[in-house]
Amino acid sequence: MNVVEVNVLHTRADAIRRFFELPDGAELLMPDVEALEWSAAMAAHFRDFNLEWHIIPASTSVPFDEQYRRRLYRTAPATFDVRDPHGCSIRELLVAGHHAHQGRMLAVETTTKPDCSGSDRSFYGTPYGHDRTADPLAPYMAETGFLHGTRYGHNFPSLTRLITLVDTDWRRRRVLPAGWHVSLCPPVIFNFIGTLFHPEWSATSSLELSFYMDARKDAELFVVGPNGPGDFSYVDRIEPHPDWSMFGFRLALVPDVTGEETFHDG
């Protein structure tokens, strides 16, 4: 990591402290988090795929409590706190999943999310989604059977294949930092990064897929998106088998400590 990138992270850390009204110097990272080191090739790769590194504040400084809910999920659906037949609410699942990322660093893909005007003609990379060449994941989607080559023309198996292919290829090319793996952007991370750093994600109303692992290493799937300008409160659970053709997605590099190396249909 070069001086410019370190300064950017310091600037983002200051923005987090201001947003949550934390004192200067409040610790945001866990003590065991080491400084990031990567090669020039890795840095170029991150730029090519619009991967942006972020600090996710530790629970000791920013707990996912009622105040957090009011700040970041101010217009959450009425189902947010309703428990399902298994005794879990969306909020409880988010809190449990987010715990593994708190106090750590991860990279989030910032490729522009278009409005979904149809799974055969909405390409990531521009707000209107007309340019099929703008999506950096296009070659991987072609190889894994994505219908029409858009992020909306997929299902559970093809999305699983895509994540596995990208992770494997980046490891082979030595552009994936040790200690991280490719995943979908987690739901609370989408909300947090969108709210603090990328309000333009709310310029289009389309929804994205997201997930956390449960204790059995099965994926707990969600759809996330904006409820309005700068408001990333929308979140709902989704099953693996329904039609996903109206849901896009963005990638993230998440730390291996989360246990999210893969996801499968449980």
Q: What is the pLDDT of residues 106-127, one digit of tens each?
A: 999 999 999 877 656 789 999 8
pLDDT at 245: 76
- What mean pLDDT value characterizes the chain? 88
Spatial contact of 180 and 107, defined as CB atoms under 8 Å apart: yes
pLDDT for residue 262 is more than 50:
no
Spatial contact of 28 and 13, defined as CB atoms under 8 Å apart: yes
pLDDT digits (tens, 9 = 90+) for 135-151: 999 999 988 878 778 89
Residue 36 φ/ψ, nearest 5 degrees: -75, 135
Classified as helix, coil or strand, 208 is: strand
**How many residues does the structure list for the chain?**
266
Residues 6+ positions from 47 with CB-CB distance below 8 Å: none
- pTM score of the predicted model: 0.91
pLDDT digits (tens, 9 = 90+) for 208-219: 999 887 655 677
The identity of residue 24, as a single letter, is: D
pLDDT at 220: 87
| Token duo for residue 199 | 């309000």
Using CA atoms, how far apart are residues 147 and 160, in angstroms rounded to an integer? 15
pLDDT for residue 266 is more than 90:
no
pLDDT at 236: 94
pLDDT for residue 264 is more than 50:
no
pLDDT at 26: 92
Percentage of residues in the chain having pLDDT higher than 70 = 91
Using CA atoms, how far apart are residues 233 and 226, in angstroms rounded to an integer? 6
pLDDT grade for 261, boundaries at 50, 70 and 90: very low
Using CA atoms, how far apart are residues 114 and 127, in angstroms rounded to an integer? 4
Average pLDDT on 180-193 reads 96
pLDDT digits (tens, 9 = 90+) for 21-43: 999 989 999 987 877 788 889 99
pLDDT at 19: 97
- Stretch (H or E) spanning 160: helix 156-172
